[in-house]
Amino acid sequence: MAGVERAVRLTAWVRGRVQGVGFRWWTRARALELGLVGSASNLRDGRVEVNAEGPESSCRALLTALRSGDTPGQVDSIVERWSEARGGLTGFVER
């Protein structure tokens, strides 16, 4: 089918000052604007794990936003992993 973009899953581990600063809320707002589903979760080691599924271009736009310097707090680095969308997700939640 021409013109239909394949769905992908982006997992991004964001390191920096990203907990307790509104980072997950900000990430959720950007993801919803882009029509993505998934979650943003605080990890015990201080990172935030972002899981997003949807069209590849939208996932790439979210990753660009995370790296933009416009986020709350401060992003020092992001490790990303790309995979096939698993499906079964609705909305975008903060955990």
What is the value of pTM for the model shown? 0.94
Q: Per-domain residue ranges for the chain?
A: 7-81
Q: Which CATH number fits domain 7-81: 3.40.50.2300, 3.40.50.300, 2.130.10.10, 3.30.70.100?
A: 3.30.70.100
Distance from C-alpha of 68 to C-alpha of 87, rounded to nearest angstrom: 27
pLDDT at 1 over 70: no
Active site residues per annotation: 24, 42
Which tens digits make up the pLDDT trace of 47-78?
A: 999 999 999 999 999 999 999 999 999 999 99
Q: Tell the burial category of 13 from Cβ atoms under 10 Å away from its Cβ (0-12, 13-18, 19+).
A: middle
